[in-house]
Structure 1
Amino acid sequence: MLASYLKDLLMCLEDGKYKTAKELAERLKISEKTVRTRLKELQFILQKYGTVIESKPRFGFKLIITDIEKYNELERMESEFNEKTKIPNTAEERKNYLLAYLLNHNGFIRLEELCDFLYVSKSTITAVLKQVELVLEQYRIHVERRPNYGIRIIGNEMDIRRCLGELFIKRNLLVGLNEEYKEKELKKLADIISQYVKEFNVNFVETAFENFITNVYIARGRIAHKKNVNLEKSDIHNLNENEWAFVIKLAERLEREYDIKYRDSEEAYIALHLAGRRMVGSGEHDEVNFVIRSEIDQLVIKMLDKVFLDFGLDFRNSFDLRMSLNQHIVPLDIRLRYELPIENTLLIEIKDNYKFAYLVAEIASTVLEDYYKKKLSEDEIGFIALLFALALEKHNAAIDKYNILIVCSSGKGSSRLLKYKYRQEFQDYLDQIYVCDLREVETFDFSKVNYVFTTIAIMHHIPVPIIEVGLFLTEKDMLNVKKVLGRKKTDFLEQYYSENAFFERLEGTTKEEVLMNICNKIIKDKNVPMDFYQLVAAREELGTTDFGNRIAMPHPLKTVTNESYVYVAILNQPIPWGKSDVQVVFMTVIGNQPDLNLPKFYEFTIELIQNKEAIQTLIESRNFETLMSLFQEQSV
């Protein structure tokens, strides 16, 4: 469509009269040289629509329409475009418009022309350009300024495409800029790619497939503008012959479809995104030649060591988790090395429902960040969190089932029938089910069960909770039973938290002073080395342990004791810690003895410290009973 400055020039000529360059310059408030330049540009466009600009010495320039139908078509298209396209009128809209223009424009453009595009002053466009430069710098792209030529962007082609992909995929900043055309082309590409995905049996998860289409779309546009990447096919590993055939066939089809040439480097670019987006572990179609390099496996081992060091969770012998991480990191390695963004559509759900697994993934990911010298996005950490969540679920599944006693007054037959019904309905919750009548209750060993379910009243003392149910297990009974069995038991927390290790008003105005005071109390109470404070301080140097919500969870650099426990201290006032202020400190000491409850301990503790209302209640009450009751409340 016509740029705004060309529309203004066309309007000056539409009366069919001759206009000199001087007259046009005065009317448009530009130089005569600029008038002549724009007339040539307008002439080039109008000739496609049955119109020419006639030049006559001493008279000037005149618009001559030779094909009124074609000219009317131009006007119709311009009218439709104007209706769909909103001229940006806020700073944010102008920034996004200018970003899109510069990223897709070949060559230089003068600031005066940009002013005409956006209908703003030069001072405004200069301010907008500064904001654009801040965005581009994040992708190592710079704005080049050249006198008498204007500005243009310069940068590595991979970075430019990454920038386009990030803005296009993640932020969708290019909305409104020929959106209809974009959606039509994406649909066309999706149909083409889907055809070859089926033909060559290539595996994608849904979001990865969408991202792959988008990057092919971006690459196609750049190739059409003679902008190619610098890649070698030998740089791409772990694609089998079938997948390479997919890449080559797709490139050939796109060449025919769009009349462009895919060099080997551009085929490598497609292969790169295939390797970075592919779905590993899909089952029968997995590649027999999927190679996990020794460097990847060593990274995974270090990640599991890091988790053990920071949390005391020993997944180092979990073959399933180790292999899952290895398979995930193979395509992640490509994404990190080539900075390929990926979207995790489950990120919010992962952070809400797997808080502890996400925290573990954050800590484990520091190993990758140190190795690649790059920060992992929350999307990538979320994918890793899912793998740890599965490992934690498997761990918990082995210890979370309950043993129950069913007491029934109707004899052994009805008791066994009830046992069968409970086993059938609540198999996910139950391990051992015992049955007895009212007489046998007095001699039963209640250390073997967690709950008693009874169809009759039990008058004497029972040391475990009693739940009264009907003989026929009605729908109401089933809901009550599931509510009870679905609770998380909190008794185990007493092995970590004690009133003697709770300090309602700990002195200290700096992080160092607070840590020293807590460490001195631990040294006095527990069998820990005298350099315990130095170990805690050394861990703080590796990364701050504040979690937000006025909470810090410091711990020593290494295991120094057999038992696991927490010292909780509430400070008089919030103090600076690292990223945020802290008023409640959970000094966590994890022992070297095997502890099946450790994952549950972390899940409960992380859930509590991220609950703003609960922490505010704890700060206001400043007593141990409140802490334990808060744990109990969140367990239901």
Structure 2
Amino acid sequence: MLTQREKNILHFLDGKGYCRAKQIGSVVGVSEKTIRNDILSINYKLDNIAFITSKPNSGYCLEIKDEKNFEKALNECEPDLPSTPEQRIDYIIKLFLTENRYIKTEEIANMLYQSTSTISTDLKEVRKTLQNYHLSLKTKPKYGMILKGEEKHLRELESDILHKKNESSDDQNHDIIAQILREVTESYNFQISEFAFNNLVIHLVVTIDRIKQGKTITFPSNYYNDLQNKLEYTIAKDIASRINKKLKIELPDSECAYISMHLLGKKLQNDQENTIIPQEYNMLVQKLLTELSQEYQINFTKDLNLQLALTLHLIPLSYRLKYDLRMENPLLESIKNNYPHAYIIAKSLANGLSKAFDKELSPDEIGYLALHINLSMEKEFINIRKKNIILVCATGKGTAKLLEYQYRQKFGNWINQLICCDVTGLKHQDFTDIDFIFTTVPIYDSVPVPVIETGFILDQNETIRIEQNIDDMSSVSTYFPKDLFFSNLDLHTQKEVITFLIQKASTLYTLPNDFEEMIWKREKIFSTAFDNYVALPHPYKPCTKETFASVAVLQKPILWNDKSVKIVFLISLSKDNDANIQTFYGKLSKVLVNSSLLEQLIKNPTYDFLIQTLNQIKL
């Protein structure tokens, strides 16, 4: 029977003519030597059905003699043998998880029909993956390697593998456990998200599997004292009792404690139930939101919904940090890509929480915080769009009403209050909360707000011009001075780029002496590079008189910590309150998440294109 890799080789060669071993190996993911060995095996197995011929300086070519039996042989390929490097890495990890013994590299190579050098390369990636779970492969000369680490970390690894591969549903106990968990949580009115529910089912599947292998979990005695008086421990005992009844598997108290930890870390909190929020959590959130407001010039402290949401979020988060529980975020990559600025702010929030709890927050946890931050920012974007406008018209009352109707119909999303008057009535207006005056006639008297002259008929060009004024387009453009836009820069390191942009910015703005030091302090706390070839370096706190952005489009991508970067936006926020900062953030974020716009900026790296792009963005 053909192996999966042999099948891949045949599919690749079918109808292609001659191909060299190196080319086949790059596609299949093995060495040229392995390809040659595989071809010998294929020719032996497919005798009188097909044959792979070789030709000097040309390579290998597939000749099919019996099409019907050839297709039949392909369909009989071994389904479970991995063929790609990724599949082999997963296979090797599962092997070490299930085999509690020393395993040699040669043994794995024989299992997978691979060379030892190929398996050695795979093992390097296996070790990297294991490090993320605080696990390692311990080597003993002449014996091989064995997987070592705490039981809870071994279970986390196995649970993540099952979840990502969606293999837990194949376990014969999966549906029984899911039904038990559903019944128990409903009977106690215990609220849990569907994702967390499925995650807990997988955890229980793994728990039962490990108990069958004689592997149980242990905890310090003080953990039991903390847990035994909580509702979650009672629920865990009920779950264990029903599992014992249905599956004849007894879960010891330590396993009940572990289940209760997961329940504490996954419980949904809301402001409708009688949830007791520790005072120190409320004070901590207030303190951190005050720091964020000062750092990013966005007043998060006035958003009481955000404060409540974060305080409630801290309750299960504190248990996850205390008991070292992983909480996967299925939306993490989407959050990073779609809400980059919220994710940056969430990193700052996570840094404060890490200090408070003395535990580092994972990117998954930061992603959850970013969702709360983004919701608050979105509400602010809605608020900043509303403008108070005076509409001056010299015609009669009926035509003035018609013009007012046009404005409300076309610009209703931006208008909070629209006041109509004539030139004479303008003298008696209170301009305290007025943002603009739009007028169909000249105004000769001095007024304290911008005046925009417009026609009585709002055609397409006139509509666009008014939208740009109402939507603060011009104010955003001032944050991006033309003298601080640089294209096709031949710089090769992160430090070179930052130093260059700072030096150029210092010719237009007064920068503090430690400006560069403040940028590197922020980079040390967390990297400002994203997955879309963009970096957003900035000082860890507002430190300049004006807010500005310096932009660099590089000739070639550079390595920015662990990511590849070609566009750099160096941002500095004003120490003083800036009325238009939300618009600045909003438009910049829209650029950062739009891959098409970034690709166009790389192809057309001009200042005019950037400003035109910003002007076209609507919040």
Shift of 1:210: 1.2
Aligned to 1:271: 260
The amino acid that maps onto 1:243 is E
Equivalent pair of 2:381/2:586 in contact (CA under 8 Å): no
The amino acid that maps onto 2:339 is Y
- Counterparts in 2 of 1:497 and 1:257: CA distance versus 1, 3 Å: same
Aligned to 2:242: 253
Shift of 1:199: 1.1
- Counterparts in 2 of 1:239 and 1:302: CA distance versus 1, 3 Å: farther
Aligned to 1:32: none
Q: Take 1:412 and 1:569, find their aligned partners in 2: how far apart are those partners?
A: 53
SS class of match (2:549): strand
Q: Take 1:208 and 1:129, find their aligned partners in 2: how far apart are those partners?
A: 31
Determine which of 174, 182, 200 is the counterpart of 2:188: 200
The structure number with the bigger radius of gyration is 1
Q: Take 2:92 and 2:193, find their aligned partners in 1: how far apart are those partners?
A: 34
SS class of match (1:431): strand
Shift of 1:330: 2.7
- 1:581-616 deviation per Cα after TM superposition (whole angstroms, max 9, x unaligned): 666554322122222321321221233245455456
Aligned to 2:177: 189
Aligned to 1:432: 417
Aligned to 2:79: 86
Aligned to 1:100: 94
Q: Take 2:82 and 2:513, find their aligned partners in 1: how far apart are those partners?
A: 65
Shift of 1:122: 9.5
SS class of match (1:555): coil
Shift of 1:140: 3.5
Matched, 1:398 2:383: yes
Equivalent pair of 1:523/1:532 in contact (CA under 8 Å): no
- Counterparts in 2 of 1:499 and 1:219: CA distance versus 1, 3 Å: same
Aligned to 2:316: 331
Aligned to 2:223: 235
Contiguous gaps of at least 5 residues in structure 2: 1-74, 444-450
Q: Take 1:87 and 1:506, find their aligned partners in 2: how far apart are those partners?
A: 50
Determine which of 273, 276, 279 is the counterpart of 1:289: 276
Matched, 1:605 2:588: yes
Q: Take 2:546 and 2:177, find their aligned partners in 1: how far apart are those partners?
A: 60
Once structures 1 and 2 are overlaid, which stretch shifts more, 233-242 or 548-557? Answer: 233-242
Q: Take 1:253 and 1:360, find their aligned partners in 2: how far apart are those partners?
A: 44
Shift of 1:630: 1.7
Aligned to 2:374: 389
Q: Take 2:482 and 2:333, find their aligned partners in 1: how far apart are those partners?
A: 36
Equivalent pair of 1:354/1:389 in contact (CA under 8 Å): yes
Counterpart mapping for 1:556-567 below 5 A: 556-567=539-550
Equivalent pair of 1:336/1:374 in contact (CA under 8 Å): yes
Q: Take 2:138 and 2:522, find their aligned partners in 1: how far apart are those partners?
A: 45
Shift of 1:244: 3.4
Equivalent pair of 2:134/2:149 in contact (CA under 8 Å): yes
Counterpart mapping for 1:351-390 below 5 A: 351-368=336-353, 376-390=361-375
For normalisation by structure 1, the TM-score amounts to 0.67
Matched, 1:627 2:616: no
Aligned to 2:251: 262
Once structures 1 and 2 are overlaid, which stretch shifts more, 207-216 or 107-116? Answer: 107-116
Matched, 1:315 2:300: yes
Q: Take 1:116 and 1:507, find their aligned partners in 2: how far apart are those partners?
A: 45
Counterpart mapping for 1:160-175 below 5 A: 160-172=154-166, 175=167
Aligned to 1:213: 201
Equivalent pair of 1:450/1:465 in contact (CA under 8 Å): no
Equivalent pair of 2:337/2:593 in contact (CA under 8 Å): no
Equivalent pair of 1:299/1:367 in contact (CA under 8 Å): no
Once structures 1 and 2 are overlaid, which stretch shifts more, 557-566 or 458-467? Answer: 458-467
Q: Take 1:401 and 1:273, find their aligned partners in 2: how far apart are those partners?
A: 45
Q: Give the count of matched residue pairs.
A: 528
- Counterparts in 2 of 1:199 and 1:415: CA distance versus 1, 3 Å: farther
For normalisation by structure 2, the TM-score amounts to 0.68
Q: Take 2:254 and 2:334, find their aligned partners in 1: how far apart are those partners?
A: 38
Q: Take 1:254 and 1:83, find their aligned partners in 2: how far apart are those partners?
A: 39
Q: Take 2:371 and 2:153, find their aligned partners in 1: how far apart are those partners?
A: 29
Equivalent pair of 1:357/1:388 in contact (CA under 8 Å): yes
- Counterparts in 2 of 1:499 and 1:511: CA distance versus 1, 3 Å: same
SS class of match (2:419): strand
- Counterparts in 2 of 1:169 and 1:576: CA distance versus 1, 3 Å: closer
SS class of match (1:289): coil
Identity of aligned residues (%): 27
Q: Take 1:533 and 1:126, find their aligned partners in 2: how far apart are those partners?
A: 45
Q: Take 1:318 and 1:578, find their aligned partners in 2: how far apart are those partners?
A: 34
Shift of 1:431: 1.0
Equivalent pair of 2:188/2:235 in contact (CA under 8 Å): yes
The amino acid that maps onto 2:313 is H
Counterpart mapping for 1:4-153 below 5 A: 86-90=79-83, 92=85, 93=87, 95-105=89-99, 107-108=100-101, 118=111, 120=113, 135-143=129-137, 153=147
- 1:37-87 deviation per Cα after TM superposition (whole angstroms, max 9, x unaligned): xxxxxxxxxxxxxxxxxxxxxxxxxxxxxxxxxxxxxxxxxxxxx999834
- Counterparts in 2 of 1:266 and 1:318: CA distance versus 1, 3 Å: same
- 1:73-119 deviation per Cα after TM superposition (whole angstroms, max 9, x unaligned): xxxxxxxxx999834152554553453354245x5487799779947
